[in-house]
Structure 1
Amino acid sequence: MNNKMFKSAVLSTLAMTASSWSTVVSSETFDNTQWNSVLEQANGQTVYFHAWGGSQEINRYLQWAGKELKDQYGVNFNHVKVTDIAETGSRLLAEKAAGKHDGGSVDMVWINGENFKSMKDNALLYGPFVSNLPNWQYVDKSLPVDSDFSEPTEGLEAPWGVGQLVFIHDKQTLNNPPMSYMEMLNYAKAFPNKLSYPKPPEFHGTSFLKSLLIDLTKNDPALAKPVSDADFQGVTKPLWDYLDEFHKVAWRGGKQFPAGTAETIQLLDDGQIDLAITFNPNAVYSAQANGNLSDTTTAYAMNSGALSNIHFLAIPWNANAKAGALVAINFLLSPEAQSRKGDISIWGDPSVLNKQYLTGSAAKTQQFKSVAEPHPSWQSALEQEWLKRYGS
């Protein structure tokens, strides 16, 4: 059989497997024959995984995962580091516009929120596939694993971890941190040049804007609905009024902002700012273990709670290595991989599995009171308005 015929046969087999998987089955009744076929096709494939690359801890974890996938399944796993997954969404849209419906350049993506909705709305995702993964049986179904920023996932993305927006401070230099956003503003005025946040549209910066808006508006009901011009101006006015005041006394006079969470942690460690920001409550432990923060640092959430969501893994509709991506996602949902990911000395990302399947510190991580994300349409509107007001 020549290469062209072999490739056609493999794609045909995978298409039949995917078609048969479209019927949702329970974790107890998944077809071993189908999964064995996926494993055979995955062996030797190269998976290009587009994911944020701004954390040394996460990058090292993915290097470990890549070695395990190679050793256990013969899958080559390449982490393509991106600063904003929206860039990957634009690439996929361009491939679709060009009629590239197979052999795509992206095999897996780390997404949630607005990026998921955009990819879903533009039919850029493969599936449904999630409930047929062998390791789906370990997932904690009490978590909102079937909804992403209020958007139904419909089996198009697999839950990977739980994120919460929290702050890190050093107890030696700041024993009594601000417990509300109004206290944060007062602290910034009392101690100018000591607080900041990442520059939107960087993920953590935009998350800060959303959390602040929810708090200032007492979670206005409009935030749970698609944004409208009529709602946006009135609902967001308290946010811009707050930031106008905050920036005057923020780090570097609000004229410059950290590039992301890693820079806020570095600035905290250098003593330039008093609060770092992260979407992982356990990030402080891995940063301490790697010598990036002192042992006197700790994470906390505002009294009102922490903006919370689940982050997911998905496969583009035209992925070149669909079988390899399925195997990679299934592995990343295994108790072994989730326990390592949740280890506070490695990454510390809270797991989506039932705790009975986890080992070590991953089984003991605590979560803060949860504050739900607004409708994903608010994200882009907030970013555009922020850039118009403060981006120059």
Structure 2
Amino acid sequence: MRISAWILLASSLITTQAIAAPDPADWHAVEEQAAGQTVYWHAWGGDANTNAYIEWVADRLANQHDIELVHVKVDDASSVVSRVLAEKSAGNDDEGAVDLIWINGENFASMKASDLLFGPFAERLPHFPLTRPDEHPEMRTDFTVPTEGLEVPWGRAQLTFYYDSERVETPPRDIDELLEWVQENPGRFSYPQVPNFLGTTFLKQALISLAEDKEALYGPVEDADFETVTAPLWNYLDALHPYLWREGRRFPESGSAMQRLMGDGELTLTFTFNPSSPAAAVADNQLPPSTRSYQLEGGTLGNVHFVAIPFNASHKAGAMVTANFLLSPEAQAHKQDIDVWGDPTVLDVSKLDSEAREAFADSQEVPAALSPEDTAETLAEPHPSWTERLEEEWLTRYGNR
């Protein structure tokens, strides 16, 4: 009787261990384990199109893999990182509440440094080779930090400005011209309240353009003379703020809020981190047909966004199958469709086989008039340590106005 009990206990432990840490090299076994699991995906929930896309993903996963995907909507991924860290401190190594996380470079660096991530697994996903990482090294780097198979690319972003061509004859083409334009057109431009990620992106774009020591931005901030490197940025913002919307005393909450202000005619020039979003907004009658988009001369900040699996995720197999589906031509083409989301693909479509390319053939492409004019070079993100320091300094200088 005791022997039978020990056998049952041992069997239970082995099963639990297999479910907790499936081998991504045995993909058939991963899919078998994933069937019937519920995957809790903690992802930004601040955009209706993004949320609708994740609902579509959930339907596909349910039908194709018998996985229930639950979108846990979050405002800031840092809160999810804190939750995983708290679980680790409490000794919860196998039954974490977070199975998958949509993560940015700053939080990825933090989780990687604290050993909070499962893997490496990303490059063993069947669809990962479709990104052609040897030809596109950005698929293996996040804010200068090597991903080392700990996260999966699933979308692209690049800072893109857009304007109402019936009200703006010649938009500013670089960061210096932007200051001149805003001073000549007071109240017609703004940027989101920091630490909103798009607001912080604007700070980094301006800093890259203005800083004399640009190389310092790509190493840890503690190794640089922060005050000297960032002085041109604060001088620039001091000159810019009095001419912003609401005279810089208030800032829009987000990129979506800026888009609404554009649609209402309060702003005539603004920006987004999704090159396709102005076209998607025009198609959805949220922006006027006279909207045009462009990128600054000399390049604009861009990156790849990723998903990752925490070290203690309860449903790692389901999370891996979900991440692999997000990389499928079907999911990538649907996401890129401007009638759906308009988020650019991470796949190298030119290298896909004819069957895979068909998934993109039916996607609604961005109209030529709304494609970024003079598409610019993508500037690499600074080292993630700069993000927090810039946000702290911005809040000290301007946050209490």
TM-score, normalized by length of structure 1? 0.92
2:17 corresponds to 1:12: yes
Give CA-to-partner distance per residue, 1:1-21, whole Å, 9 cap, x none. Answer: 999888644332245633xx4
Contact 1:57–1:286, Cα closer than 8 Å, also in 2: no
Supply the AA of the counterpart residue of 2:58.
Answer: G
Cα 1:363–1:126 change in 2 (3 A) is farther
The structure 1 residue matched to 2:298, chosen from 290, 297, 304, is 304
Q: Distance in 2 between matches of 1:339 and 1:230?
A: 42
Report the number of matched residues.
379
Q: Paired residue for 2:257?
A: 263
Query: Does the CA contact (< 8 Å) of 1:101 and 1:317 recur in 2?
Result: yes
The answer to whether residue 324 in structure 2 is matched with residue 319 in structure 1 is no
CA distance in 2, matches of 1:305, 1:317: 36
**Which ranges of structure 2 fall in alignment gaps of 5 or more residues?**
none
Range moving further from structure 2, 237-246 or 167-176: 167-176
Aligned-partner residue type, residue 361 of structure 2: G
* Equivalent pair of 1:125/1:314 in contact (CA under 8 Å): yes
1:163 to 147, 157, 164: 157
Does the 8 A contact of 2:255 with 2:272 survive in 1?
Answer: yes
Q: Counterpart in 2 of 1:378?
A: 386
Aligned counterparts of 1:173 and 1:328: Cα–Cα separation in 2: 44
Aligned to 2:181: 187
The secondary structure found in structure 1 opposite 2:162 is strand
Assess if the C-alpha contact under 8 Å between 2:157 and 2:305 holds in 1.
yes
**1:360 match:** 361
TM-score with structure 2 length normalisation?
0.90
Q: Contact 1:48–1:105 (CA<8 Å) still a contact in 2?
A: yes
Q: Residue 45 of structure 2 is aligned with which of 30, 35, 53? A: 53
Alignment of 1:136-147 (within 5 A): 136-141=128-133, 142-143=135-136, 144-147=138-141
Counterpart of 1:205 in structure 2 is 199
Q: CA deviation at 1:230?
A: 5.2
1:249 corresponding residue in structure 2: 243
- 1:276 — aligned with what? 270
Spell out the pairing of 1:66-215 with structure 2 (5 A cutoff): 66-141=58-133, 142-143=135-136, 144-215=138-209
Distance in 2, matches of 1:291 and 1:308, equals: 27
Name the stretch that deviates more: 159-168 or 290-299. Answer: 290-299
Partner residue, 1:40: 32
AA in 2 matched with 1:81: K
**For the residues of structure 2 that align with 1:255 and 1:89, how far apart are their CA atoms?**
32
For residues 276 and 360 of structure 1, do their structure 2 counterparts lie closer, same or farther at Cα, with a shift above 3 Å needed?
farther
Closer, same or farther in 2 for the Cα pair 1:248/1:139, shift >3 Å? same
Three-state SS of the structure 1 residue aligned to 2:154 is strand
Q: Residue 388 of structure 1 corresponds to which residue in structure 2?
A: 396
CA shift for structure 1 position 362: 5.9
| Counterpart Cα distance in 2 of 1:361 and 1:273 | 34
Distance in 2, Cα, partners of 1:301 & 1:173: 18
**How much identity, in percent, do the aligned residues show?**
45
The 2-side partners of 1:116 and 1:279 are apart by 19
**Which deviates the most, 365-374 or 138-147?**
365-374
Q: 1:255 to 1:226 in 2, by over 3 A?
A: same
AA partner of residue 55 (structure 2): Q
1:361 to 1:171, Cα distance in 2 relative to 1, 3 A: farther
**How far apart, in 1, do the equivalents of 2:68 and 2:12 lie?**
18
Once the two structures are TM-superposed, the CA of residue 219 in structure 1 deviates from its matched residue by 6.0
Question: Structure 1 stretch 133-142 or stretch 123-132: which is displaced more?
Answer: 133-142
Per-residue deviation, 1:175: 2.9
Name the CA shift for 1:229/1:137 in 2 (closer, same or farther; >3 Å): closer
Tell me the C-alpha RMSD between the 2 structures.
2.1
